[in-house]
A and B are shown apart, each in its own frame.
Chain A
């Protein structure tokens, strides 16, 4: 359980996080979305006590992170930026972290097995691939078997097999009743993993809702795709009914302003044959783009 209330963070002139409030509930995977520079990593650093908020408070299990007696046993985190000494072996990295709160050696071997790094755990981290580094980061996050897991861009650098692995891992953690909070810029990944979304842009809250609701919101006003051998007659009828119609490349029509049902009924009334009638699904990607387009930090010219 993570509760962020009224948190702001200012770096000099720049307000990186602007009065954010949200909570992350146990039992579901909560996605944290936002364009680059939106303040996702900063927010996570504020939750983890690495940066101090300029105002407001971020609590984990009702406490500030700094006040947790055994933080690794309550919160496991992996930051986007590497947080591992490259000269040390993965095993010794995990062992040193475990020793700070009396986590037994056996647990170190356990998490190494969980992330599939048995064969390289004794090698220096500097020789690791990006994907191996991510797996080691996940191992560190799971070390204390925490009830809350915070992962910043966990899919970065993973191959498709690795991405599926982490997706199943996170879903499994949520199913076990854990609080799972992950950021990603890969919308497709979020769509398959997260149930709940927190979307921010320019440090401000844009949306805090279920993935379904988020897509539904963005889909309102999405076009209906319709194909007919008699495009001219149908177009005339649709425009007569107040729709905006445009031609697709394959000869289908994109209709805006009417629902699928209305288009179908109109065609039946005009006795026109339809070959296709499809509500266009907006992907999370599109929903995200349409909702955040005003809050992209660096607009392309």
Chain B
């Protein structure tokens, strides 16, 4: 039997690694709970007040973004887990065992990305479906109807799931570059959650010029129904976010290959 290290074998190994940690299972559970549960919760709360809403508020009510709202929380669990997939190996020293088993090194990164992105995609797809249909069941009681065939619905649905997957990739690359769990999570939170707030307190002319390029803004265009005139289009913004992620992955790969472990 041939016994060399192959990407398929390293991927199996990373599958074992992912599921054999309690912290992983918890993070994924939280992500699933947030994605599946938050949408219906928001739907139930907003429908409870439906009869008190005025005509204008009913017209501008956006059931699609409410139904998919869970991704805003789920992305945090996915991002943190994306970081820990690799930073946890650096903090415990496991990375040395991993690199001694796979001294070419890069297959370790590719396998982590494959396994984690694959798992995140399947879980988020399923829970996003649950959220969409459960929320719609609540909306329908109040005659607010939408299906995946409604305007933007399929794109926002797919966009939310894809955004989370790419966020996971971005965070694994961050973890590979920064290596420390705390540092990587700080960088992730800073880039995705703090920068937009900073952008908002800038003068409008400046923030309108800068904001569209922020990874969080560009990346979530695809998960929004409406677009300000100064922002990118849905897929244009997502493409930019994918570009940032690709850049991070390339830097991560070069550093992983070159640095002493």
Q: Is A193 an interface residue (CB 8 A)?
A: no
Q: Is B57 an interface residue (CB 8 A)?
A: no
Q: How many whole Å from B56's CB to the nearest CB in chain A?
A: 52
Number of A-B residue pairs, CB cutoff 8 Å, is 102
Q: Which residues of B contact A102 (CB under 8 A)?
A: 1-3, 9
Q: Is B122 an interface residue (CB 8 A)?
A: no
Residue in contact with B96 in the complex, picked from A65, A79, A89, CB distance below 8 Å: A79
Q: Is B16 an interface residue (CB 8 A)?
A: yes
Q: How many whole Å from B5's CB to the nearest CB in chain A?
A: 5
Cα(A127)–Cα(B185), bound, Å? 27
B103 and A69 form a contact (CB under 8 A)? no
Q: Could you tell me the dominant secondary structure of chain A's interface residues?
A: loop
Q: Which residues of A contact B99 (CB under 8 A)?
A: 49-50
- Return the CB mask of B1-30 against A: 1 if under 8 Å, else 0: 111110001101110110011110000000
Cα(A71)–Cα(B17), bound, Å? 19
- Also in contact, A140 and B97, with CB within 8 A (given A85-B88, A99-B12): yes
Q: Which residues of A contact B5 (CB under 8 A)?
A: 69-71, 100-101
Q: Is A233 an interface residue (CB 8 A)?
A: no
A97 and B97 form a contact (CB under 8 A)? yes
Q: Which residues of B contact A79 (CB under 8 A)?
A: 93, 96
Residue in A82, A83, A92 with the greatest tally of chain B CB atoms within 10 Å:
A83
Q: Which residues of A contact B20 (CB under 8 A)?
A: 88-89, 92, 96
- Return the CB mask of A69-108 against B: 1 if under 8 Å, else 0: 1111100010101111111110011011101111100000
Q: Is A239 an interface residue (CB 8 A)?
A: no
Cα(A252)–Cα(B95), bound, Å? 58
Would you list which residues of chain B between 54 and 96 have a CB under 8 Å from chain A? 88-89, 92-96
- Return the CB mask of B223-261 against A: 1 if under 8 Å, else 0: 000000000000000000000000000000000001011
**Beta-carbon nearest neighbor of A143 in chain B:** B101
Q: Is B102 an interface residue (CB 8 A)?
A: yes
Residue in contact with A66 in the complex, picked from B9, B94, B104, CB distance below 8 Å: B104
Cα(A91)–Cα(B162), bound, Å? 34
Residue in contact with B9 in the complex, picked from A48, A81, A87, A99, CB distance below 8 Å: A99
Q: Which residues of A contact B1 (CB under 8 A)?
A: 102
Cα(A77)–Cα(B97), bound, Å? 9
Cα(A85)–Cα(B90), bound, Å? 9
Q: Is A52 an interface residue (CB 8 A)?
A: yes
A81 and B93 form a contact (CB under 8 A)? yes
Q: Is B100 an interface residue (CB 8 A)?
A: yes
A87 and B23 form a contact (CB under 8 A)? yes
Q: Is A68 an interface residue (CB 8 A)?
A: yes
Q: Which residues of B contact A101 (CB under 8 A)?
A: 3-5, 9, 101
Q: Which residues of A contact B3 (CB under 8 A)?
A: 69-70, 73, 101-103
Q: Which residues of B contact A45 (CB under 8 A)?
A: 260
Q: Is A212 an interface residue (CB 8 A)?
A: no
Q: Which residues of B contact A88 (CB under 8 A)?
A: 17, 20-21
Q: How many whole Å from A89's CB to the nearest CB in chain B?
A: 7
Cα(A263)–Cα(B4), bound, Å? 65
* 5 examples of A-B residue contacts, CB within 8 angstroms: A48-B103, A51-B260, A77-B100, A96-B16, A100-B102
Residues of A within 8 A of B (CB): 45, 48-52, 65-66, 68-73, 77, 79, 81-89, 92-93, 95-97, 99-103, 124, 140
